[in-house]
């Protein structure tokens, strides 16, 4: 199949969260199944054209956004796995310091930026003569593409055979704008109906993606159920109207990249058969944080966007609640300024046991995954979560809230049967993170059990091999349904 991935993030070029990991990894596995996969991304300023050897293609294309005509160029790069990536270059929308905002708030013209991107991706496919069987769109930034295919482009021969797939990575970010978006995006007012573009008298990009694509997926089976039932942030009815076309496919991680045996960012390599290096990683991390280099101190970490979703209120309470214990905490994150302030206060009050780094820092993230004993992830909701899976690969034990993908990947360690790979609590049932950390600490101080738990964690494999089969099946289902619809239409 010809598969066109359209997304606003993709590793190694640009990453804000887990979306980038998925878009950067899934194509490599689809390629192994024999598909021709191409990726379209915005050319943000932060993407280093020289480093990635991006080559301009000989077209100057244009699309309309409201009354403006926007020109753009396409630059082509190739990933290490030989996948073509096409970057949409437009100075007005993408040549700025941030990805979605300036660090304090979202850019005020995000609507125009991603209308432009959706239209440009469609024009780019045509210019490249890449006729996709599948256009796979990710999150709200690309939600208008399925809508264009079902409206303005429904009689366009180029996309006659194209099915659209929309993947929800996080339903909390929906891209909802006023009704005047119909005109700004160049739709017809006839399509401003509840079964198409309209959502409570607005245009909601995510609703367009969910409601008008040929199949919808989200990133874990449990999250797929949750968003239909109670966690859909207003999308429940739309999702339930499409229930036969919703797939919950668990993300994997790239074990070639997240591998403590070969990782060049950590001070010493290790594997489940020889964990000596992990002790060195712990000592180095303690030193870097200004903590005592004490093997017996229980070291807990967190690498995350600073966002309420991630349960930072719960983490901050735990920092204070556990201040008298032999524990140390390290946080790496960027995002919400209020959360940052609260963490800074905790650091200033407990500098010998709490450390924080407020930046996006990939090598430091590796050091934290490698050096910690346990990983804190009390997310209030979590579509899939990659951090806990990465932590498992590094033998760092996740302590999580039972929600979404965390339920699908973490099982409570049972010290009788020695089964399980982490610790869980359930916010909904009033269970307590601090108590769960204390229970995990008991196991930490019981070497035999901790060793068994570490082995269980490192034996877990959430690889793409299995998930890619599920994506492949979803593509085939969507293509078959499309064929059926075409027959019916003729």
Angle at 385 between CA 384 and CA 391, to 5 degrees: 140
Judged by CB under 6 A, the stretch of 88-96, 235-243, 382-390, 425-433 that binds ligand ADP is: 382-390
The CA distance from 399 to 300, in Å, is 9
Nearer to ligand ADP among residue 96 and residue 340 (C-beta) = 340
Q: Quick check: 387 binds ligand ADP (CB under 6 A)?
A: yes
* Site pattern 433..472 for ligand ADP (x: CB under 6 A): ----------------------------------------
Q: Quick check: 308 binds ligand ADP (CB under 6 A)?
A: no
Buried b (16+ CB within 10 A) or exposed e, 281-305: bbbbbbebbebeeeeebbbbbbbbb
Judged by CB under 6 A, the stretch of 145-153, 383-391, 429-437, 447-455 that binds ligand ADP is: 383-391
Which conformational region is residue 407 in: left (phi greater than 0), alpha (psi within -120 to 50 degrees), or beta?
alpha
Cα–chain center distance at 125:
25
- Interface residue with ligand ADP among 385, 398, 420, 422 (CB under 6 A) is 385
Q: Quick check: 305 binds ligand ADP (CB under 6 A)?
A: yes
Instruction: Name the token pair of 236.
Output: 């429940």
Cβ 381 to ligand ADP shortest distance, Å: 10
* Site pattern 216..235 for ligand ADP (x: CB under 6 A): --------------------
Q: Quick check: 8 binds ligand ADP (CB under 6 A)?
A: no
Cβ 305 to ligand ADP shortest distance, Å: 5
Nearer to ligand ADP among residue 47 and residue 212 (C-beta) = 47
Cβ 148 to ligand ADP shortest distance, Å: 26
Q: Quick check: 422 binds ligand ADP (CB under 6 A)?
A: no
Helix, strand, coil percent values for the chain (each to nearest 5): 40, 20, 35
Please, which residues bridge with residue 246 across strands?
A: 216
Q: Quick check: 48 binds ligand ADP (CB under 6 A)?
A: no
The CA distance from 468 to 30, in Å, is 7
Which conformational region is residue 102 in: left (phi greater than 0), alpha (psi within -120 to 50 degrees), or beta?
alpha
Nearer to ligand ADP among residue 151 and residue 421 (C-beta) = 421
Judged by CB under 6 A, the stretch of 120-128, 131-139, 271-279, 303-311 that binds ligand ADP is: 303-311
The CA distance from 220 to 466, in Å, is 13
Nearer to ligand ADP among residue 17 and residue 175 (C-beta) = 17
Q: Quick check: 319 binds ligand ADP (CB under 6 A)?
A: no
Pair 383, 170: CB distance under 8 Å: yes
- Interface residue with ligand ADP among 79, 334, 353, 396 (CB under 6 A) is 334
Nearer to ligand ADP among residue 314 and residue 479 (C-beta) = 314
In three-state form (DSSP H/G/I as H, E/B as E, the rest C), the secondary structure along 261-320 is: CCCCCCCCCCECCECHHHHHHHHHHHHHHCCCCCCCCEEEEEEEEECHHHCHHHHHHHHH
Separation of first and last alpha carbons in the chain:
23
Nearer to ligand ADP among residue 184 and residue 343 (C-beta) = 343
Pair 346, 316: CB distance under 8 Å: yes
Cβ 19 to ligand ADP shortest distance, Å: 6
Pair 83, 36: CB distance under 8 Å: no
Pair 448, 221: CB distance under 8 Å: no
The CA distance from 46 to 61, in Å, is 22
Q: Quick check: 255 binds ligand ADP (CB under 6 A)?
A: no
Nearer to ligand ADP among residue 61 and residue 386 (C-beta) = 386
* Site pattern 346..365 for ligand ADP (x: CB under 6 A): --------------xxx--x
Q: Quick check: 257 binds ligand ADP (CB under 6 A)?
A: no
Q: Quick check: 332 binds ligand ADP (CB under 6 A)?
A: yes
* Strand ranges across the sheet with 68-78: 55-65, 68-78, 84-89, 36-42, 2-6, 134-138, 163-168, 215-218, 246-248
Number of residues near ligand ADP (by CB under 6 A): 18
- Interface residue with ligand ADP among 21, 139, 373, 408 (CB under 6 A) is 21
Q: Which residues bind ligand ADP (CB under 6 A)?
A: 17-18, 21, 303-305, 332-334, 360-362, 365, 384-387, 390
């Amino acid at each position: 199949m010809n598969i066109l991935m359209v997304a606003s993030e993709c590793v190694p070029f640009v990453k804000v969260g887990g979306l980038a990991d998925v878009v950067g990894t899934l194509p490599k596995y689809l390629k192994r199944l024999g598909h021709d996969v191409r990726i379209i991304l915005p050319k943000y300023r932060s993407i280093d054209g020289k480093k990635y050897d991006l080559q301009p293609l000989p077209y100057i294309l244009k699309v309309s956004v409201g009354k403006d005509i926007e020109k753009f160029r396409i630059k082509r790069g190739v990933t290490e796995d030989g996948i073509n990536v096409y970057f949409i270059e437009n100075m007005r929308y993408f040549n700025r310091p941030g990805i979605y905002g300036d660090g304090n708030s979202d850019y005020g013209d995000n609507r125009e930026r991603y209308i432009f991107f959706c239209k440009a991706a469609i024009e780019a496919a045509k210019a490249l003569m890449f006729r996709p069987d599948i256009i796979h769109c990710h999150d709200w930034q690309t939600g208008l593409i399925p809508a264009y295919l079902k409206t303005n482009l429904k009689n366009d021969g180029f996309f006659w055979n194209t099915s659209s797939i929309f993947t929800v990575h996080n339903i909390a970010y929906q891209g909802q704008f006023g009704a005047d978006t119909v005109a700004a995006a160049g739709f017809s007012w006839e399509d401003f109906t509840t079964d198409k573009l309209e959502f409570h008298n607005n245009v909601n990009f995510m609703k367009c993606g969910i409601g008008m694509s040929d199949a919808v997926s989200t990133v874990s089976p449990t999250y797929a159920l949750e968003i239909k039932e109670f966690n859909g942030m207003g999308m429940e009815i739309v999702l339930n109207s499409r229930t036969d076309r919703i797939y919950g496919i668990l993300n994997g991680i790239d074990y070639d990249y997240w591998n403590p045996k070969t990782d060049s960012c950590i001070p010493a390599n290790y594997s489940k058969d020889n964990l000596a290096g992990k002790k060195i990683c712990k000592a180095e991390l303690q030193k870097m944080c200004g903590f005592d280099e004490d093997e017996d101190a229980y070291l807990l970490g967190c690498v995350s966007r600073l966002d309420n979703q991630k349960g930072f209120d719960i983490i901050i309470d735990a920092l204070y609640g556990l201040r008298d214990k032999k524990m140390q905490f390290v946080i790496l994150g960027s995002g919400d300024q209020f959360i940052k302030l609260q963490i800074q206060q905790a650091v200033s009050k407990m500098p010998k046991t709490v450390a924080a780094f407020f930046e996006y820092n990939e090598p430091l993230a590796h050091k934290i995954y490698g050096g910690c004993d346990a990983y804190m992830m009390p997310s209030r909701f979590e579509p899939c979560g990659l951090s806990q899976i990465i932590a498992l690969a590094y033998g760092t034990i996740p302590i999580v809230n039972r929600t979404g993908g965390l339920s699908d990947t973490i099982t409570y360690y049972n010290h009788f049967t020695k089964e399980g790979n982490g610790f869980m609590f359930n916010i909904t049932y009033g269970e307590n993170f601090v108590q769960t950390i204390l229970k995990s600490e008991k196991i930490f101080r019981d070497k035999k059990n901790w060793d068994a738990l570490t082995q269980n964690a490192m034996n877990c494999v959430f690889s793409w091999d299995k998930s890619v089969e599920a994506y492949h099946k979803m593509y085939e289902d969507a293509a078959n349904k499309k064929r059926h619809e075409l027959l019916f239409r003729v």
